Amino acid sequence: MLKPKTWHRGMLFVMNIRQHLKFIRILSHQQTKQLINSKPELTYKYLRNYISFDIPARNGLLILISHYSYLQHNFKTDFLDNISSSPAQLWQQYIDGISFEIVMDFPHTVDHEGDLCLLFKMDLVCIYRVIFVIANGSLFELPDDQVVVVSSVQGMHGFEEIRQATKTCRDIQPAQLLMAAISGVGLALGFNTILGIASKNQISQSEKFYFSYDKFFEKYGDPIPQKNFYKIQLPYAETPLELIHTRHRKRTQRKRAFKNEIRERVASSIEQYLIREPLHCLASNA
């Protein structure tokens, strides 16, 4: 006998059959053929919680459609094949003899949280990740054509490794460095807005690594009234230097320069995967 949850998912599938068939057609594109062959469950992932607890199945399906449609229209055909088999390095630097890098990957083990991720590595070991998806702004009642939705910001290793990485990288936490990298992704694609999912509807929270999403996203943007999202404008707003105590200004400037370097390097790295001239380059040449 089928369980109630199975019946419920079956009903959702029937109710969204037309959009589901559209999604199947999109996934049959050359860019996603290999991915769907290795991950056939991707086709039905919207039938369970996807990126947030309060996003209904239909909207989850529409987000997936917008994400993969956007990739097909703006990224080279081999983009997903390349990153799903071998993560793409977007930034790398040696500091005090330690290798640090940020790579883009497909979130193989937690793909219900999103469909792309950035990994922060120290000496080739993943210690932090940000998972995200590209969606039409209208799905979140925003005027943007596309937005980046950050659905997960999570540590992947012990606190000692995170502490060491923070200390070595100008006292900047890996999560903040990954947000600089996400800003670089938005810069390369010409996006103006990032959405962060508030703690209340987080499906990525774990008991082992608790992360205060509200406190984190408040540093970058503002909560949307009556919604469980934070709206973050690009580029990120920062406290004017004249409002920072003179004793801390040089330190603040060094931190910002380091994050800006990551942002610019990630944006430049993303460009090699695009099939069009990046929007931020067009703007800079105007």
Burial 30-57 (b: 16+ CB within 10 A, else e): ebbeebbeeeeebeebbbebbbbeebeb
Asked if residue 58 belongs to a domain, the reply is no
Q: What is the predicted pLDDT for the residue at 36? A: 87
Residue 285 has pLDDT above 50, yes or no: no
Asked if residue 230 belongs to a domain, the reply is yes
Q: Which residue has the higher pLDDT, 243 or 30?
A: 30
Q: What mean pLDDT comes out for the span 257-275?
A: 96
Asked if residue 163 belongs to a domain, the reply is yes
Asked if residue 81 belongs to a domain, the reply is no
Residue type, 214: D
Q: pLDDT category, 5, cuts 50, 70, 90? A: low
Q: What mean pLDDT comes out for the span 220-244?
A: 90
Q: pLDDT category, 221, cuts 50, 70, 90? A: very high
pLDDT in tens, 47-75: 888 999 989 999 999 999 999 999 999 99
Strand, coil or helix: what is 204? coil
Q: What mean pLDDT comes out for the span 90-111?
A: 92
Q: Which domain holds residue 92?
A: 86-285
Q: pLDDT category, 282, cuts 50, 70, 90? A: very low
Q: What mean pLDDT comes out for the span 12-28?
A: 84
How many structural domains comprise the chain? 1
Q: What mean pLDDT comes out for the span 180-201?
A: 95
Nearest to 140 by CA among 130, 150, 153, 131: 150
Q: What is the predicted pLDDT for the residue at 15? A: 72
Q: What is the predicted pLDDT for the residue at 277? A: 58
70, with CB counted inside 10 A (0-12, 13-18, 19+), is middle
Asked if residue 55 belongs to a domain, the reply is no
Contact 118, 130 (CB under 8 A): yes
Q: What is the predicted pLDDT for the residue at 134? A: 98
Contact 230, 196 (CB under 8 A): yes
Residue 223 has pLDDT above 60, yes or no: yes
pLDDT in tens, 133-148: 999 999 999 999 999 9
Asked if residue 162 belongs to a domain, the reply is yes
Asked if residue 129 belongs to a domain, the reply is yes
Q: What mean pLDDT comes out for the span 169-173?
A: 96
Residue 272 has pLDDT above 80, yes or no: yes
Q: What is the predicted pLDDT for the residue at 284? A: 45
Give the mean pLDDT of the chain: 88
Torsion of CA 12, 13, 15, 20, to 10 degrees: 130
Residue 26 has pLDDT above 70, yes or no: yes
Q: What is the predicted pLDDT for the residue at 240? A: 82
Q: What mean pLDDT comes out for the span 171-188?
A: 97
Nearest to 204 by CA among 280, 111, 269: 111
Model's pTM, two decimal places? Answer: 0.91
Asked if residue 125 belongs to a domain, the reply is yes
Q: What is the predicted pLDDT for the residue at 76? A: 94
